Chain A
Amino acid sequence: MPLTNEQVRRLARLSRLAMTDAAIDTTRTRLDGILALIARMQAVDTSGIAPMSHPQELATRLRTDEVTESDQRTAFQAIAPQAEAGLYLVPKVIE
């Protein structure tokens, strides 16, 4: 089923991607093409098949509870768009 412009806007909103009115038609057309390709899956009966989320179906490894990291704030904040007083700065957060 083809997407509506409203759906595309909502996907863009959830993805935090700007979506101009000019871009929306092209985007929708492209996405429809991809979704049509994907839709070929729907023909397969997979009842009773367990989903496989990982190629290695093992248990996760655990780390020992110990502190192994030291302060790297200076190095990490050297590449930050905006930092001050050890904090990353962002436009005002509203709760």
Chain B
Amino acid sequence: MSRADWEVVIGLEVHAQLNTEAKIFSGASTAFGASPNVQASAVDVALPGVLPVLNRGAVERAIRLGLALDAHIAPKSVFARKNYFYPDLPKGYQISQFELPVVQGGTINIQVGEGAAAYEKTIHLTRAHLEEDAGKSLHEDFHGMSGIDLNRAGTPLLEIVSEPDMSSSAEAVAYARALHALVRWIDICDGNMQEGSFRCDANVSVRKKGATVLGTRREIKNLNSFRFLQQAIDFEIGWQIETIEDGGAIVQATVLFDPDTGETRMMRSKEDAHDYRYFPDPDLLPLEIDPAWIARVATELPELPAAMKTRFIGDFGLSAYDASTLTASREVADYFQGTVAAAGKAQAKLCANWVMGELAARLNKAELDITNTPVSPAQLGGLVARIADNTLSNAIARKVFDALWNHEGVDADDIIGKQNLKQLTDSGAIEALVDEVLAANPKSVEEFRSGKEKAFNALVGQVMKASRGKASPAQVNDILRRKLADDR
């Protein structure tokens, strides 16, 4: 059997740390990077007698996510205790939501692949629930012991659970990226994956094509980069198919991905069968969210990517692919809109080409994020405007872009002026250049007349060179054709 005979089923559980000031049940700071345990308050350390009080900011962020996913926001949800022993879990239970989560259902559209091979897919969400993060176990050697830092304990999390709607690692990554962009878009999570602000668990199973029941799944825990997510899923798919084809069976398990080996392995600590003994936390009453609160949060939400995408298609005439790409993150969308604002709405398509083309390529090469771009949206918009009004050819425009990138001028006009890059559009001057070139290149003229179209391009190149690139290519074309025809 080949890989093509198998169907892959993937669901993702994403833990997004919420960017509140304080923790979900205590008044301790959530800031990252503090010295160990200085942000572990009495509640976070779980001293005897302490009690949790729910942070309004965490609830508000859950409402934002619910609205952004077009999900049901439960008017009443319940916090439960998930009981298990672990040194980074100070109470011996995690306060989470079990039977009645705050966000129920919802969808997100993803775009998988690039260019012509790209396709869209709608991923359904099962739920998103509020819970507290655990602390961290540090495994450096302290006389053969582990160190426990509870600064992270009690950081608010939304655990966002998808339906098993994805059928490849590419789809899983596209979903994770879309969700990552969304939580940052609505400003509920900083999305910093290195700091663990956005962590993915992937449930992976395989089944033979046409099978009606799902295969047994294994859960890959704690994937903190999109690359690891892809690698881990791909390895897991291969391993599961191989195991079954070799006559083995998949046993439900929790596994870890080792980036060094590129393989997944069973978690040793999870061998023990769990029984979390969920029950409603008696220290917390049910969370009630009234419609007025939801309505207020809705008015404070920014335009969401899906709505923005529709607007880009309708107002700017962009293709669905371009509109998706430009709304893939809030930063890109903001940048693009800034560019259009400077260039004029009529130039939106040209702006899109530059943002997705030259700018993206340069950023990529320089390993820069769009938020750190040396060329501002206003600068790029100004440049696009000069292309649109024929001041610049595309070729010169790239020179101007380079100059902007290197901070050689405050804007495109400044650079055009300083470096004398204005496009030559005076037809008299171009005619003179054309005449010179025709006179100097009789051989090319001869070849063109004998039917070699390539010779025409050579002549155009000579004229452009003579103008030091500044002549309007369209005008050079026109005049050259006319002259060659006239002289015949």
Query: Hey, which bits of chain A sit against chain B, CB under 8 A?
Result: 13-14, 16, 53-54, 56-69, 71-73, 76-77, 82, 84-95
A61 to B285, CA, bound (A): 8
In order of increasing CB-CB distance, the 6 nearest A-B pairs are A65-B57, A68-B27, A87-B147, A59-B288, A69-B41, A86-B36
B17 at the interface (CB under 8 A from A): no
Q: Which residues of A contact B29 (CB under 8 A)?
A: 67, 69
Which residues of chain B (255-294) have a CB below 8 Å from chain A? Answer: 256, 267-269, 272, 275, 277, 279-280, 282, 284-288
B232 interface hit (Cβ, 8 Å):
no
Determine whether B368 belongs to the interface, using a CB cutoff of 8 Å to chain A.
no
- Chain B residues 1-49 with CB under 8 Å of chain A are 20-22, 26-29, 35-42, 45, 47
Inter-chain contact A85/B20, CB cutoff 8 Å: no
CA distance A51 to B124 in the complex (A): 31
Closest to B27 in A: A68
B55 touches A54 (CB 8 A): no
Which B residues lie within 8 Å of A88 (CB)? 37, 87, 147-148, 150
A93 and B36 within 8 A (CB): no
Interchain CA distance A17-B28 in the complex, whole Å? 32
**A6 → B minimal CB distance (Å):** 13
Q: A88-B87, A91-B145 are known contacts; what are 18 more A-B pairs with Cβ within 8 Å?
A: A59-B285, A59-B287, A60-B285, A61-B54, A65-B21, A65-B56, A65-B57, A65-B60, A67-B28, A67-B29, A69-B28, A73-B38, A73-B40, A77-B37, A86-B37, A87-B149, A93-B137, A95-B268
A residues less than 8 Å from B415 (CB atoms):
none
* CA of A68 to CA of B287, assembled, Å: 22
Q: How far is the CB of A26 from chain B (nearest CB, A)?
A: 24
A residues less than 8 Å from B275 (CB atoms): 14
B58 at the A interface (CB under 8 A): yes
Complex contacts, B147 vs chain A, CB 8 Å: 84-85, 87-89
**Given contacts A60-B287, A90-B146, A92-B146, is CB(A69)–CB(B27) below 8 Å?**
yes
A13 to B268, CA, bound (A): 17
Q: Is the CB of A87 within 8 A of B38?
A: no
Partner of B56, one of A62, A72, A95: A62
Q: Which residues of A contact B149 (CB under 8 A)?
A: 86-87
B123-145 interface with A by 8 A CB criterion: 137-139, 142-145
Closest to B35 in A: A86
B87: chain A residues at CB < 8 Å are 88, 90, 93
Residue on B with the closest CB to A61? B53
**Is B269 within 8 A of A94, CB to CB?**
yes
- B 239-261 to A, binary, CB cutoff 8 A, 1 in contact else 0: 00000000000000000100000
Instruction: List A contacts of B269 (CB < 8 A).
Output: 93-95
Kindly provide the distance from the CB of A89 to the nearest chain B CB, expressed in whole angstroms. Answer: 4
A-B contacts, 8 of them at CB < 8 A, read: A61-B285, A63-B53, A64-B57, A87-B36, A89-B142, A90-B87, A91-B146, A93-B87
Chain B hits for A72, CB < 8 A: 41-42
Is B119 part of the contact surface with A, judged by Cβ < 8 Å?
Answer: no
Which residue of A is nearest B76, CB measured? A59
Distance of A95 Cα from B88 Cα, bound (Å): 12
Measured in the bound complex, the distance between the Cα atoms of B53 and A36 in whole Å is: 37
Chain B residues contacting A93 (CB-CB under 8 Å) are 86-88, 137, 139, 146, 269
Structural contact, A82 and B145, CB atoms closer than 8 A:
yes
- Across-interface contacts of A68 in B (CB, < 8 A): 22, 27
Is B434 part of the binding interface, using a Cβ–Cβ cutoff of 8 Å? no
Give complex CA distance A72, B28 in Å: 11
A-contact bits for B214-255, CB 8 A (1 contact / 0 none): 000000000000000000000000000000000000000000
Q: Which of B55, B143, B280 contacts A53 (CB 8 A)?
A: B280
User: A84 to nearest B CB, angstroms?
Assistant: 6
Residues of A within 8 A of B42 (CB): 69, 72, 76
The listed residue (B39, B41, B284) touching A60 by CB distance below 8 A is B284
Which residues from chain B contact A92 at a C-beta distance below 8 Å?
139, 144-146
Which of A67, A77, A91, A94 lies in contact with B21, CB distance below 8 A? A67
Is B59 interfacial (CB 8 A cutoff)? yes
Contact between A66 and B150 (Cβ–Cβ < 8 Å)? no
If the complex has contacts A84-B147, A85-B147, A93-B87, are A62 and B142 also in contact, measured as CB distance less than 8 A? no
Cβ contacts under 8 Å, A63 to chain B: 22, 27, 53-56
Contact indicator B144/A56 (Cβ below 8 Å): no
